[in-house]
Structure 1
Amino acid sequence: MSNFKKLAGQTAVYGLSSILGRSINFLMIIVYTKYLSTEALGSFTSIYALIGFMNIVFTYGMETTFFRYSTGKNLDSAKVYNSTQSLLITSTLLLGTGLYLLAPSLAIWLDYPGQAYLFRWTALILSFDAILAIPFAKLRLENKALIFAGSKIINILLNIFFNLLLIIGFPYLISIGAIQEGFLGYRSDWGVEYILLSNLFANGLIIPFVWWKAGFFKFQMDGSILKPMWTYSLPLLFMGLAGVTNELFSRFLFEYVLPPNFYAGLSARQAGGVFGANFKLAIMMNLVIQAFKYAAEPFFFKKSTDKNSPQLYAKVMHVFILFCSILMIAISVNLDWIGPLFLQGDDYTEGLYIVPMLLMGYLLLGVYFNLSIWFKITDQTKYSFWITLAGAILTISIIFIFVPIWGYMGGALSTISSYFVMCLLCYWYGQKYYPIPYQTSKGLFYLLISFVLSYLGFYLDLGIPVLNFLVKNSLILIYFGIIFILEKEQIMAYLPKSKKV
């Protein structure tokens, strides 16, 4: 029970920064959909999908590798940190410079003529993210959850400040004559530019603070340490690329695959903005996954030498599915008021019907993260590449086949299908090479019934708002009842027993 308390406690702390950050991103959709054009939202969706993809290239699996080798018995953790950070800084300089120089060509290839500066800023954002990756990982490894969370929160607050200043503040000051157009180079016709600049400023300003708190490093690259680390991380790089293809490529490719005039009154890029905005509504599930990952990854590695670790991993998975399936239902049945509240415009709410499917997709991503522990602790990371490659191929295939037919739903289908297949493959190989006693039948039942209840609640409409709210949310209580019936023995075992008089 103490292990669960420790994991839950750290997840809560990491979750503070993750939930705050994702919640602000969630709330910023109100600002973006109100003050920016649909086309600007489409650019935001595709460029940030590119950033997510390239972020994997810039860090190439070194965070997980750092955890693995820093906990090794025969290695000096300080040398591992110094060597890993030195390697990442060197590779970041090379990759960042290359991307910066390629910016004009990228602007032409991706249909952003005359906007090469967008991709120069992207190169800087990626570089700042990369050189922060290992210091943040070190804070997690040392259980400095409060410092980690504090650093993330400072970064978030800086980002939100610059977003509000550039998107709302400056236009207001111009409108009342307090400043003139062109003040500090300000341009009222910019949109996605200010989202990128806010990110760039916030990340750049946080670097000295994070390096100070993590402990400054000594530049050294010890080949005896880096060679086995590279062998371990290379499959993780390809796993990450395939994984981010599953998560982000539906948003990146959407505007390029969708046929012209598929949605009346919307260009392909504008429809991509609608698709991306509805993806943001599923962020509440993703923030739980991210908070869990921050806490669970170092926790799993530290418990890997315990003889009872398979049983512990199975219990963590079971509780994870229960919690996240409840969250999925709670969000889905309330989309009728959550959607219009956060998506300011009728065009955006037309895509709400894909949100329950996206929530399930993110839930399956969390299940996959739990399942993937077997190849990380057994150094069989080569399997990660083949599993995620299968998911990536499926993602791209579904996008090209079904987005031209089903539009938004085709994009959502690519997400849920790829993660489901990845879960199946990871479970199959995991049980073969590192058996973990998961409650598989129960887990699948909970996933299925919660998905059905989510869509039932989404489409249920009794015509009376108050009655609608009560009946829809009663589905959550029904699900709780199902859980209690099936988990009664385990629940009663954790309750305090009354003492006999």
Structure 2
Amino acid sequence: MSNFKKLAGQTAVYGLSSILGRSINFLMIIVYTEYLTKEAMGSFTSIYALIGFMNIVFTYGMETTFFRYSTGKNLDPKRVYNSTQSLLLTSTVVLGSGLFLLAPWLAEWLEYPGQSYLYRWTALILSYDAILAIPFAKLRLENKALIFAGAKIFNILLNIFFNLLLIIGFPYFITNGVIQDGFLGYRSDWGVEYILLSNLLANGLIIPFVWWKAGFFKFKLEGEIIKPMWVYSIPLLFMGLAGVTNELFSRFLFEYVLPPNFYAGLSSREAGGIFGANFKLAILMNLVIQAFKYAAEPFFFKQSQDKNSPLLYAKVMHAFILFCTLLMIAISVNLEWLGPLFLRQPGYSEGLFIVPTLLMGYLLLGIYFNLSIWFKITDQTKYSFWITLVGAIITIAIIFIFVPIWGYMGGALSTISCYFVMCLLCYLYGQKYYPIPYQTGRGIFYLLISFGISYGGFYLDLNNPFLNFLAKNSLILLFGLIIWMLERDQIKTYLKPKTKTT
């Protein structure tokens, strides 16, 4: 059980950066919905969905490939690092330059006429992210979790500082006559522009520190290393593209698919802003999944040579489901006050009913990440492409079919449907090629029960705020009691201190 506790400890450290840092970032939704228009929120939702999609293109699976070839291919990790970073830097220059030059065309095509600078900044943000990807991965591989966490948190704090300065600080100084409108090129009519600019500045400023702590690389492209890595990574690229299609395209396409005047008094872009803002509430689940992923990916690869690794993978999966289903209920039953707390302007709360569905979608994404270990450690990454391609097709089909009919819920259904199918396919193929003794029946039971409790708690209304709060949160205790009754012996094993041997 020491390995299990090691993973839990690493997840906790990475959670410090992922959950604490992103929670601070998440709190910016309060600022955005308070100070920006719904149209600006719609632009924010759409452009950052595009950034999420293009991030996969710029890194093309090289983080996972770096882990694989640094741990299990009898290669010098330094040579792997040099070649990987050199390859990624070269491709980033090519892709970033191409996107920079295409910015005017993109702005017209995506209905942002005269705002090509948005996509030039996007090209720079993507380039900075890409050249940081492998140094951050190296820190994870070397178990330098505290340095990793510190760099991530500092990056987020910089981002927050620039956001607050540009969105709140400068307007305040202008209103009080401290500075004039136009100071340093400041424009009061900008909104999403300052979110992008803050991101750009924050990412650029941490590059020297991260490169220094990870170890500066020697530019060298070794064909002996790059060729097999390329073969391994290409399926991961397509898996990533299909994956972000599943995760982000509902937000990117929403304003273009939603019929005009579907929601009274809202343009399609404003409705997209409401949809994206409610998506942000569901990202609380994704924070946990991201922290788990940072710790689990290198951990899974290192444990792959152990004959007992399938049993360990199964235990990790079960603990993951228990924790995340409890979290889903805790968020869902408290949306009555969480929603208005984070979504400040009137009108955003009309999309709250999709949040439990989105939470379940993210939970299924986390389960898929657990399941996907089989094709990564058996070098069968070709299956990742086909599985996620099916998910992408389902995502796009549901968006185009159901968003025009059901609006917000149509977008939410695209998320949960595609991840369910991906989990099912990954599980079936995984048990065929690399059997892992998952507690499948119990896992499904917890997923169904928790999803039902989540929506039951969301719609529960006793016409009294205090009684509502007590009744809704008692459902968390009820589910916790169910877990304790069924998992008591296993939980005691997890919590039992490690015995010392002499």
Q: Identity over the aligned pairs, expressed in percent?
A: 84
Counterpart for residue 368 of structure 1: 368
Contact 2:21/2:153 (<8 A) preserved:
yes
**Residues 1:495 and 1:66: Cα distance change in structure 2 (over 3 Å):** closer
Counterpart for residue 256 of structure 1: 256
- One-letter amino acid of the counterpart of residue 153, structure 2: I
Counterpart for residue 221 of structure 2: 221
**How far apart, in 2, do the equivalents of 1:111 and 1:36 lie?**
19
**How far apart, in 2, do the equivalents of 1:416 and 1:365 lie?**
9
- RMSD, matched Cα: 0.9
Matches within 5 A, 1:82-97: 82-97=82-97
Deviation at residue 344 of structure 1 after TM alignment: 0.5
The reply on whether 1:77 has 2:81 as its aligned counterpart is no
Q: Which runs of 4+ in 1 moved over 4 A?
A: 492-497
- One-letter amino acid of the counterpart of residue 210, structure 1: V
Counterpart for residue 301 of structure 2: 301
Contact 1:282/1:359 (<8 A) preserved:
yes
- The 3-state SS of whatever aligns with 1:351 is helix
- One-letter amino acid of the counterpart of residue 269, structure 2: R
Q: Deviations over 1:110-158 (max 9, x none)?
A: 0000000000000000000000000000000000000000000110110
Contact 2:51/2:126 (<8 A) preserved:
yes
Q: Deviations over 1:81-126 (max 9, x none)?
A: 0000000000000000000000000001000000000000000000
Matches within 5 A, 1:224-373: 224-373=224-373
**How far apart, in 2, do the equivalents of 1:495 and 1:102 lie?**
55
Contact 2:22/2:156 (<8 A) preserved:
no
**Residues 1:423 and 1:157: Cα distance change in structure 2 (over 3 Å):** same
- One-letter amino acid of the counterpart of residue 218, structure 1: K
The reply on whether 1:57 has 2:30 as its aligned counterpart is no
Counterpart for residue 168 of structure 2: 168
The reply on whether 1:418 has 2:425 as its aligned counterpart is no
- One-letter amino acid of the counterpart of residue 478, structure 1: L
Deviation at residue 484 of structure 1 after TM alignment: 1.4
TM-score where L is the length of structure 1: 0.98
- One-letter amino acid of the counterpart of residue 371, structure 1: L
- One-letter amino acid of the counterpart of residue 290, structure 2: Q
Q: 5+ residue gaps in structure 1?
A: none
Q: 5+ residue gaps in structure 2?
A: 498-502
Deviation at residue 362 of structure 1 after TM alignment: 0.3
TM-score where L is the length of structure 2: 0.98
Deviation at residue 74 of structure 1 after TM alignment: 1.8
- One-letter amino acid of the counterpart of residue 466, structure 2: V
**How far apart, in 1, do the equivalents of 2:74 and 2:372 lie?**
25
Deviation at residue 21 of structure 1 after TM alignment: 2.5
**How far apart, in 2, do the equivalents of 1:330 and 1:488 lie?**
21
Deviation at residue 73 of structure 1 after TM alignment: 4.6
**Residues 1:382 and 1:495: Cα distance change in structure 2 (over 3 Å):** closer
Counterpart for residue 500 of structure 2: none
Contact 1:22/1:283 (<8 A) preserved:
no
**How far apart, in 2, do the equivalents of 1:488 and 1:8 lie?**
19
- One-letter amino acid of the counterpart of residue 46, structure 1: S
**How far apart, in 1, do the equivalents of 2:270 and 2:437 lie?**
47
- One-letter amino acid of the counterpart of residue 309, structure 1: S
- The 3-state SS of whatever aligns with 1:346 is coil
Contact 1:388/1:422 (<8 A) preserved:
yes
Contact 2:25/2:156 (<8 A) preserved:
no
- The 3-state SS of whatever aligns with 2:27 is helix
Q: Deviations over 1:209-259 (max 9, x none)?
A: 000000000000000000000000000000000000000000000000000
Deviation at residue 366 of structure 1 after TM alignment: 0.2
Contact 1:32/1:41 (<8 A) preserved:
yes
**How far apart, in 1, do the equivalents of 2:31 and 2:269 lie?**
19
**How far apart, in 2, do the equivalents of 1:347 and 1:43 lie?**
17
- The 3-state SS of whatever aligns with 2:466 is helix
Counterpart for residue 389 of structure 1: 389
Deviation at residue 448 of structure 1 after TM alignment: 0.3
Contact 2:354/2:408 (<8 A) preserved:
yes
Contact 1:395/1:417 (<8 A) preserved:
yes
**How far apart, in 2, do the equivalents of 1:491 and 1:375 lie?**
29
**How far apart, in 2, do the equivalents of 1:480 and 1:195 lie?**
39
**Residues 1:359 and 1:62: Cα distance change in structure 2 (over 3 Å):** same
**How far apart, in 2, do the equivalents of 1:302 and 1:408 lie?**
42
**How far apart, in 2, do the equivalents of 1:36 and 1:493 lie?**
50
**How far apart, in 2, do the equivalents of 1:356 and 1:73 lie?**
42
**How far apart, in 1, do the equivalents of 2:57 and 2:21 lie?**
23
- One-letter amino acid of the counterpart of residue 330, structure 2: A
Contact 2:278/2:351 (<8 A) preserved:
yes
**Residues 1:470 and 1:212: Cα distance change in structure 2 (over 3 Å):** same
**Residues 1:25 and 1:486: Cα distance change in structure 2 (over 3 Å):** same
**How far apart, in 2, do the equivalents of 1:140 and 1:281 lie?**
28
Counterpart for residue 17 of structure 2: 17
**How far apart, in 2, do the equivalents of 1:491 and 1:366 lie?**
21
Counterpart for residue 378 of structure 2: 378
**Residues 1:496 and 1:366: Cα distance change in structure 2 (over 3 Å):** closer
**How far apart, in 1, do the equivalents of 2:35 and 2:279 lie?**
19
Contact 1:278/1:355 (<8 A) preserved:
yes
- One-letter amino acid of the counterpart of residue 167, structure 2: I
Counterpart for residue 101 of structure 2: 101
Counterpart for residue 34 of structure 1: 34
The reply on whether 1:466 has 2:466 as its aligned counterpart is yes
**How far apart, in 2, do the equivalents of 1:4 and 1:330 lie?**
25
Contact 1:256/1:268 (<8 A) preserved:
yes
Contact 2:141/2:298 (<8 A) preserved:
yes
**How far apart, in 2, do the equivalents of 1:117 and 1:65 lie?**
33
Q: Deviations over 1:294-348 (max 9, x none)?
A: 0000000000000000000000000000000000000000000000000012211
Deviation at residue 72 of structure 1 after TM alignment: 2.4
**How far apart, in 2, do the equivalents of 1:32 and 1:9 lie?**
34
Deviation at residue 493 of structure 1 after TM alignment: 4.2
Matches within 5 A, 1:451-462: 451-462=451-462
Deviation at residue 491 of structure 1 after TM alignment: 3.0
**How far apart, in 2, do the equivalents of 1:52 and 1:496 lie?**
41
Counterpart for residue 133 of structure 1: 133
- The 3-state SS of whatever aligns with 1:353 is helix
**How far apart, in 2, do the equivalents of 1:141 and 1:65 lie?**
12
**Residues 1:494 and 1:146: Cα distance change in structure 2 (over 3 Å):** closer
Contact 1:257/1:403 (<8 A) preserved:
yes
Contact 1:391/1:422 (<8 A) preserved:
yes
Deviation at residue 25 of structure 1 after TM alignment: 2.5
- One-letter amino acid of the counterpart of residue 406, structure 1: W
**How far apart, in 1, do the equivalents of 2:390 and 2:277 lie?**
27
**How far apart, in 2, do the equivalents of 1:401 and 1:350 lie?**
21
**How far apart, in 2, do the equivalents of 1:202 and 1:49 lie?**
19
**How far apart, in 2, do the equivalents of 1:373 and 1:306 lie?**
14
